[in-house]
Amino acid sequence: MAKWGLSYANLTIIYKHAILLIITHAAEAWHRSIAKRAKHKLQQIQRSYLIFLTKTYKSVLNDALQAIAGIMPIDQAIGLYKDTRAIARGQQML
């Protein structure tokens, strides 16, 4: 890993507490009916940040980027967020 720029820990905090929260905003409402194109766009957003986070080449596979960074795929993260919010509200998970 490269030693320039913000540290990996700081970039991970920014991802989890800013970018992921923006992406998952109101996921309970739109997660089920998300279009294939919108899902692809969310994956592109995550991929671009993971490349920046891990400081790797753009040719690295998305699955490898997620494994290197230790971050789950965006669709799973949205599902987890949605389920966590449902449990916190006392609702049944769907």
How does pLDDT run across 51-70, given as a tens digit for each residue?
999 989 999 999 999 999 99
16 vs 41: CA distance, rounded Å = 18
Is 66 within a domain?
Answer: yes
Tell me what pLDDT residue 39 has.
Answer: 85
27 vs 83: CA distance, rounded Å = 10
Is 2 within a domain?
Answer: no
Range of the domain at 53: 8-88
Task: Report which of 23, 15, 58 is spatially closest to residue 41, judged by C-alpha positions.
Answer: 23
| Structural domains of the chain, count | 1
* pTM of the predicted structure, to 2 decimals: 0.79
- Tokens read off for 26: 């109101």
Q: How far is CA 17 from CA 24, 67, 86, in A?
A: 11, 19, 19
Looking at per-residue confidence, does 33 or 84 come out higher? 84
- Tokens read off for 11: 């970039």
Q: pLDDT class for 17, splitting at 50, 70, 90?
A: very high
Is 94 within a domain?
Answer: no
Is 1 within a domain?
Answer: no
- Tokens read off for 66: 């997620």
